[in-house]
């Protein structure tokens, strides 16, 4: 039922707002769908406006943002985007190019690797052809140009960078982009969690740099996280937000911190999933628990879709893994915290997920989608446990679900305390539209309120007592304060959050 409902919603409401989803969740199915359609545009727009106002004013109040010289609130309107460019045509760049072309925007797609460019050309063309088959129209291929030369971005007024998740590489690309593109072109990064401010500093126009974070598959998932760096101008953020709307996405403005909102919450969720494997679970068991809850893909199937190498590059960049890191250190801890190197070990075997035909699961070949349990992974887990003296125990479905979901929700409270998201609804929108959180459960913060904040607090305390080396399971101060104030409804959390100083 949940899947049917989610699918129907996707088809009937290309742009929906999470408040409507939540309202719909409390109504009978048919009425809910109708209400969602009625509300979607107005609510979507007001949610955008609220998020932006909140972001700018609290950022300015905290003294972290000042109007760039020559700019004013009057010229902070979104700018039209006539031509765009995408740099890096891997998993994400291809889907982003498709989204832009489908919105009627001419695109120059740049890739440094000629072989990869050919693969990307075929993939993008196939998606576009498939998409128009049903409508009986011609695919808009004339809007798309491919190139291996970065200088070809010079006519674009908005550029989206989607190269490997490597700060040094991205800084070099941003530096080069800022010297070859038009002086007023917007430079956007699709980084999944790197510091947008550092990238802005690599350019001559930090006020024109913003994060535009798409979600895999980028031409399918409805979410766009717009990350305003401390120096991003209102016009730049407004342009990215409006472009998101033109692409049929739900744009949510968020602050700049490692992982932003979505991936910052995904981190403890993925970590719990990895720890559960160490303790005796299999990828299929953990995924089954999450899929029965309503996710279209469990943590491991989703990780195979996104590409295990993306997170691996990120962890190497942070010095958590890579040559020289494991030597002399306990394998199960990093910097005093529990750390599971299982995903790193898979990557060392070249198992990057769907793209290499092997990851947590086995696929028909590179690019395959049907995930089959892989006996190799089960043997690998058994060997790993015995190497480290870990005793496998039965992990219940309830434990798998609670540890993954409640650690994610706990990080959501920390994000609210840090002022990185404008409110709980913004977090819910991010999870419903970006990660396939079951819409009928309203999003993680809505779910926390529905389950009962005191229950979440009690379960986190229970799991933290059992795993003192996992600080992410320690209940956040905001959760404690909300419970102490009588667990007010979601709409009133702001009154408790307000007492926290904004970090924006």
Ligand X SMILES: NC(=O)C1=CN([C@@H]2O[C@H](COP(=O)(O)OP(=O)(O)OC[C@H]3O[C@@H](n4cnc5c(N)ncnc54)[C@H](O)[C@@H]3O)[C@@H](O)[C@H]2O)C=CC1
309 within 8 A of 352, measured Cβ to Cβ: yes
* Residue 221 lies near ligand ZOZ (rule: CB under 6 A): yes
Contacts of 144 (CB under 8 A, 6+ apart): 97, 101, 106, 107, 109, 124, 128
Q: Which of residues 282-341 bind ligand X (CB under 6 A)?
A: 306-307, 310
Let me know: does 86 contact 100? Beta carbons within 8 Å: yes
At its nearest, how many Å lie between ligand ZOZ and the CB of residue 218? 8
Q: How far, in Å, CA of 135 to CA of 442, rounded?
A: 32
Interface with ligand X, residue 116, by CB under 6 A: yes
Question: Cβ of residue 34: shortest distance to ligand ZOZ, in angstroms?
Answer: 22
Q: Is 419 left (phi over 0), alpha (psi -120 to 50) or beta?
A: left
In the beta sheet, which residues pair with residue 337? 334
Contacting ligand ZOZ within 304-323 (CB under 6 A): 305-306, 310-311
116 binds, among ligand ZOZ, ligand X, none (CB under 5 to 8 A by kind): ligand X
Structure tokens, 375: 């006996």
**x/- string (CB under 6 A) for ligand X, residues 146-185?**
----------------xxxx---x---x------------
Query: Closest-CB residue for ligand X?
Result: 90
- Candidates 82, 129, 172, 369: give the one binding ligand ZOZ (CB under 6 A): 369
What is the separation of C-alpha 268 from the centre of its chain, rounded to a whole number of angstroms?
A: 13
Q: What is d(CA 321, CA 339) in angstroms, rounded to the nearest whole number?
A: 10
Our finding on whether 296 is near ligand ZOZ (CB under 6 A) is yes
CA 210 – CA 262 distance, rounded (Å): 16
91 part of the interface to ligand X, by CB under 6 A: yes
Among 120, 127, 456, 478, the residue binding ligand ZOZ under the rule CB under 6 A is: 127
99 binds ligand X per the rule CB under 6 A: no
H helices of 1-113, in order, are 2-12, 18-25, 29-61, 91-102
Instruction: Give the count of beta carbons closer than 10 Å to the beta carbon of residue 132.
Output: 14
Structure tokens at 394: 């039965």
CB of residue 213 to ligand ZOZ, shortest distance in Å: 6
**Residue 112 touching ligand X (CB under 6 A):** yes
**Residue from 244, 412, 436, 443 that binds ligand ZOZ (CB under 6 A)?**
436
Of 427, 460, 428, 453, residue with least CA distance to 441? 428
Q: Kindly determine how many residues on this chain lie close enough to bind ligand ZOZ according to the rule CB under 6 A.
A: 27
> Considering CB distances under 5 to 8 angstroms, the limit depending on partner class, which of ligand X, ligand ZOZ, none binds residue 90?
ligand X
> Which parts of this chain interact with ligand X (CB under 6 A)?
87-93, 110-113, 116, 162-165, 169, 173, 190-192, 213-216, 306-307, 310
> Which parts of this chain interact with ligand ZOZ (CB under 6 A)?
7, 127, 130-131, 192, 215-217, 219-221, 263, 266, 270, 296-297, 302-303, 305-306, 310-311, 354, 369, 434-436
């Amino acid at each position: 039922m949940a899947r049917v409902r989610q699918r129907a919603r996707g088809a009937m409401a290309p742009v929906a707002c999470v408040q409507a989803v939540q309202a719909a969740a409390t109504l009978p199915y048919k009425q809910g769908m109708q209400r969602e359609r009625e509300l979607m545009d107005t609510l979507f727009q007001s949610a955008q406006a609220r998020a932006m106002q909140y972001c700018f004013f609290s950022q300015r109040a905290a003294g972290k943002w000042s109007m760039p010289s020559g700019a004013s609130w009057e010229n902070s309107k979104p700018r039209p985007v006539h031509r765009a460019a995408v740099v890096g045509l891997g998993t994400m760049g291809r889907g982003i190019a498709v989204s832009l072309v489908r919105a009627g925007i001419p695109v120059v797609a740049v890739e440094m690797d000629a072989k990869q460019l050919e693969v990307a050309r075929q993939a993008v063309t196939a998606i576009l052809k498939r998409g128009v088959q049903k409508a009986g129209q011609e695919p808009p291929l004339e809007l798309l140009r491919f190139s291996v030369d970065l200088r070809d971005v010079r006519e674009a007024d908005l550029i989206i960078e989607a190269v490997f998740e490597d700060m040094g590489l991205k800084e070099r690309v941003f530096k080069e982009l800022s010297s070859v593109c038009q002086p007023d072109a917007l430079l956007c990064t699709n980084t999944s969690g790197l510091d947008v401010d550092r990238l802005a500093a690599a350019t001559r126009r930090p006020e024109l740099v913003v994060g535009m974070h798409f979600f895999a598959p980028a031409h399918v998932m409805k979410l766009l996280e717009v990350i305003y760096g401390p120096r991003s101008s209102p016009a730049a953020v407004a342009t990215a937000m409006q472009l998101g709307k033109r692409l049929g996405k739900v744009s949510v403005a968020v602050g700049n911190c490692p992982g932003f909102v979505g991936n910052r919450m995904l981190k403890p969720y993925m970590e719990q999933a990895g720890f559960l494997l160490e303790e005796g679970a299999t990828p299929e068991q953990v995924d089954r628990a999450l899929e029965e809850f309503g996710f279209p893909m469990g943590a491991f199937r989703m990780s195979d879709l996104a590409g295990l190498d993306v997170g691996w590059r990120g962890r190497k960049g942070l010095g958590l893994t890579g040559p020289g890191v494991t030597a002399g250190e306990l394998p199960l801890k990093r910097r005093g915290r529990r750390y599971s190197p299982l995903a790193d070990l898979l990557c060392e075997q070249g198992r990057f997920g769907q793209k290499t035909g092997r990851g947590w699961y086995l696929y028909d070949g590179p690019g395959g989608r049907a995930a089959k349990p892989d006996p190799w992974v089960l043997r690998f887990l058994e060997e790993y446990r015995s190497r480290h003296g870990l005793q496998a125990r039965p992990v219940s479905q309830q434990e798998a679900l609670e540890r993954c979901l409640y650690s994610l929700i706990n990080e959501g409270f920390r994000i609210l305390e840090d002022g990185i998201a404008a409110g709980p609804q913004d977090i819910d929108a991010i999870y419903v539209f970006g990660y396939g959180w079951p819409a009928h459960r309203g999003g993680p913060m809505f779910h926390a309120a529905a389950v009962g904040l005191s229950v979440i607090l009690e379960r986190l305390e229970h799991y933290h007592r059992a795993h003192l080396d996992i600080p992410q399971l320690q209940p956040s101060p905001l959760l404690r304060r909300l419970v102490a104030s009588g667990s007010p409804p979601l709409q009133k959390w702001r009154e408790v959050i307000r007492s926290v100083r904004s970090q924006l």
